[in-house]
């Protein structure tokens, strides 16, 4: 591959990762807000609140990533959109499980404040989430056709 083409491809991937991180940062805010809201205002147990907060942030992140981060990938149509959404949820389930387990361990076993524990849980799943979504949910159109 020539150097110029390699440079362009590399720049596109760096931009994609930056977009993913920005979406993730917003998803982090959404998750933290709803975790706090459902725990402190509604009165739910923090693990129940976490499941709800994760789902809301997952839906938020999927929509933003589909429209912006990976806008150049994927087939058009409602069926394909919901297929990507399902795939996104499947890939995010590893991150969700990681988040919940770390949240519980840090909060219950190490007496860390639940919102601080949640930060560590979110951070642990982010890289895995990007990799799985990049390789499966939003894979290149060429790969989908083969």
> Quick one: pLDDT band at residue 138, thresholds 50, 70, 90?
confident
pLDDT in tens, 15-64: 988 998 899 999 999 999 999 999 999 999 999 999 999 999 999 999 99
What phi and psi, each to the nearest 5 degrees, are found at residue 44? -75, 155
What is the structure's pLDDT at 43? 98
What secondary structure, in 3-state letters, does the chain show?
Answer: CCHHHHHHHHHHHHHHHHHHHHHHHHHHHHHHHHHHHHHHHCCCCHHHHHHHHHHHHHHHHHHHHHHHHCCCCCCCCHHHHHHHHHHHHHHHHHHHHHHHHHHHHHHHHCCCCHHHHHHHHHHHHHHHHHHHHHHHHCCCHHHHHC
What is the structure's pLDDT at 99? 87
What is the structure's pLDDT at 145? 54
Q: Does the pLDDT of residue 89 top 80, yes or no?
A: yes
Q: Does the pLDDT of residue 90 top 90, yes or no?
A: no
User: Hey, CA dihedral for 9, 12, 16, 21, is it positive or negative?
Assistant: positive
What does pLDDT average to over the chain?
87
pTM: 0.81
User: CA 47, CA 106: separation in Å to the nearest integer?
Assistant: 12
What is the structure's pLDDT at 141? 58
What is the structure's pLDDT at 12? 86
Q: Does the pLDDT of residue 98 top 80, yes or no?
A: yes
Residue 4 CB neighbour total at 10 angstroms: 8
The answer to whether the CB of 121 falls within 8 A of the CB of 99 is: yes
> Quick one: pLDDT band at residue 137, thresholds 50, 70, 90?
confident
The percentage of residues in the chain with a pLDDT greater than 90, rounded to a whole number, is 55
What is the structure's pLDDT at 2? 65
User: CA 123, CA 24: separation in Å to the nearest integer?
Assistant: 10
């Amino acid at each position: 591959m020539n150097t110029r083409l390699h440079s362009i491809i590399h720049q596109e991937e760096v931009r994609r990762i930056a977009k993913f991180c920005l979406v993730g940062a917003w998803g982090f805010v959404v998750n933290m807000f709803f975790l706090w809201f459902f725990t402190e205002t509604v009165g739910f147990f923090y693990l129940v609140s976490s499941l709800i907060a994760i789902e809301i942030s997952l839906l938020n992140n999927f929509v933003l990533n589909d429209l912006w981060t990976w806008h150049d990938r994927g087939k058009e149509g409602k069926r394909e959109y919901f297929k990507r959404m399902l795939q996104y949820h499947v890939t995010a389930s590893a991150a969700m499980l990681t988040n919940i387990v770390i949240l519980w361990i840090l909060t219950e076993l190490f007496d860390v404040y639940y919102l601080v524990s949640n930060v560590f849980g979110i951070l642990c799943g982010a890289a895995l989430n990007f990799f799985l979504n990049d390789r499966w949910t939003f894979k290149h159109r060429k790969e989908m056709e083969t």
